[in-house]
């Protein structure tokens, strides 16, 4: 059965989903840290 492309598609899809989620975590961290810094300056 020549279905190797499906195997690679599944593995790549897994890491694309994980990378996307980790990317959102990094972005949210950066936004919250910036917000906290700005709040610290304001008070």
Contacting residues toward another protein, per CB under 8 A: 1-4, 6-7, 9-11, 13-14, 17-18, 21-22, 25, 28-29, 32-33, 35-36, 39-40, 42-43
- Please provide residue 10's backbone torsions phi and psi, each rounded to the nearest 5 degrees: -65, -45
Q: Give the closest residue to 20 by CA, choosing from 30, 31, 28.
A: 28
| Residue 38 CB, nearest approach to another protein (Å) | 10
CB of 5 to another protein, least distance (A): 9
- d(CA 41, CA 39) in angstroms, rounded, equals 5
């Amino acid at each position: 059965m020549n279905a190797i492309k499906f195997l690679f598609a599944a593995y790549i899809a897994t890491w694309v989903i994980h990378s996307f989620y980790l990317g959102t975590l990094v972005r949210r961290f950066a936004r919250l840290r910036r917000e906290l810094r700005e709040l610290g300056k304001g008070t």
